[in-house]
Amino acid sequence: MPKPTERLVDTNGVTLKVIEAGERGNPVVVLTHGFPELAYSWRHQIPALAAAGYHVLAPDQRGYGGSSRPEEIDAYNIVELTADVAGLLDDVGAEKAVLIGHDWGSPVATNFPLFFPDRVTAVAALSVPPVPRASAPPTALWRKIFGDNFFYILYFQEPGVADAALSADPARTLRRMIGGVRTTGDEFAAQRMIAPGPEGFVDRLPEPESLPDWISQDELDHYIAEFTRTGFTGPLNWYRNFDRNWELTESTPAPTIDVPTLFVVGTADPVLSFTPRDRVRDVVTGDYREVLIEGAGHWLQQERPDEVNNAILEFLGGLR
């Protein structure tokens, strides 16, 4: 099996760096990463999917890594993000693809069939489940829920503030995010993330005693080098489009996801505490399956690659 290759693809007014593996003509699988990650986050899935007979495309999404970083905040809205993926399909001559997303990549994957219903075969979401459109602008709802307490998405809204804090020491930021974003028995650490006060996001994360056993220093250094070079403004701009995305999804070409859909999540993923799964059926009308991986945290496909690969390949096998 040839090794994955990297190339640049012009799509939807931006240039995306794409990791590609597998033979053209095979069923296409697009992998969309989350925050603060890269196509590199799928390094354990790309060769496994290619070996199973799929043509894999894993982009650094706009704002990240080797891809374009538009300056305008509204350039990171969900219409543009899903259109980027459609352009990748055009580039390889594929009518349809399976979309698999993690974290922020999950909304890209689960919104794609709403905007491009004729171009998707199936969807898999990791860590963030498919959710229906909110009843009001999301930031208004979060302000009502959290009041004067800290909530990281609201903290990310003000341009420049989180950008400076996260970029001040990318090694510290990424070390704390990789090692500190999970549910633990540390009640004080959990409370600190929603307590009032002037501290920012990174300062509230615990400093890990050591790296998790699923990531090496060399692997972490890859992220550190990229985010030291690019900064965090592009990725943070994704968060600054929550209300704009709410407006843009009031009416979509397809009202629901009617293709087979898989949701995979770790039971120690803190995202589950504020992203409930009880309304999935409001947005998914096709076949739906959940896989919970006991004890796994947020960086799911890196932390538990074998279990994630098995779940994805079983799901894809059922489509054939």
Cα–Cα distance for residue pair 214/216, rounded to 1 Å: 7
> Which one-letter amino acid corresponds to residue 28?
V
Alpha-carbon gap, residue 245 to 250, rounded angstroms? 9
Q: What is the 3-state secondary structure (H, E, C) of 201-235?
A: HHHHCCCCCCCCCCCCHHHHHHHHHHHHHHCCHHH
222 is catalytic: no
Distance CA 225, CA 241 (A): 26
- CA 95/CA 270 separation, integer angstroms: 36
Of 60, 84, 103, 163, which residue is the catalytic one?
103
C-alpha separations of 235 from 19, 159, 310 in Å = 19, 12, 29
Q: Which of 33, 55, 102, 298 is catalytic?
A: 298
Comparing CA positions, the residue from 103, 112, 108 lying closest to residue 42 is 103
- Cβ–Cβ < 8 Å for 82, 111: yes
How long a stretch of residues is the chain? 320
Q: Strand pairing of 97-102 and 28-32? A: parallel
DSSP state of 40: G
Which residues are the active-site residues? Answer: 103, 298
